[in-house]
A and B are shown apart, each in its own frame.
Chain A
Amino acid sequence: MSNETKQLIVFDLGGEEFGVKITKVQEIIRMKELTQLPNASEFMAGIINLRGDIISVIDLRKRFGVEQKETKKTRIIIVEMDNQDVGLIVDSVSEVLRIEPADIEDAPERIAGIKDDYLKGIGKVDDRIIILLDLDQLLTTEEKIELENASQNVNDEDIA
């Protein structure tokens, strides 16, 4: 990890805060009508028409085993993943956050239920904990990420 200040897009998923590097984010759009793909993997929510381009959308809520509930705040974050644009459905997008490298801790070696592959680290700003995601690793496994346990563990460790 470099020593420069990072800018993160912070989003909310099942009450937990996650961050992705702003340079990976193309844009954030409102929830749109999805066209479902038959026989696709469980996390593929479907495809959308984004200004004439067909974009595949992953339901991060499914990926992390969070309840799927559409609200006015539900957003699709369009990110660049393996050189292609992919949409990620999240509960809401809260802010752009600057974070100093000093505030980022390496991910714990192994958190129960969540493979450290997805984790770039844990960001601590004031008393918030932001889970930094490594997008490129997000799709390499079919396994569902057990979010609740994961964050539980982080919190426990933090307290301890």
Chain B
Amino acid sequence: MAKILIVDDAQFMRTMLSKLIEEEGHEVAGEAVNGIDAVQKYKELSPDMVTMDITMPEMDGIEAMKEIKKVDPGANIIVCSAMGQKPMVVEALEAGAKDFIVKPIKPKKVKEALANILG
């Protein structure tokens, strides 16, 4: 069982992701609603993995990811992107994202990504 931090500004996405994560037998360590919040929560909770939305207020997902990587270069981060955000996903992958999922998210894809990263 791994501890996972969910970062997304949409309540709907957070609920959906936490349901999927729990179904897979993992624990939702916490939820963050923007990039700043995400970095803060990461430091507090030291989760095993993060699901990171890209487009968020305050600080976007890619910035937040870079911040987190500064604190913990080995952080396991999956980015959640929308259909039209291919260049941002490229940026995220280059900044060290381990995987990406594309919205509208499909349970199968989320579970696959979890399995691939958490073993």
- In the complex they form, whether A and B have CB atoms below 8 Å apart is answered with no
| Chain B residues near A (Cβ < 8 Å) | none
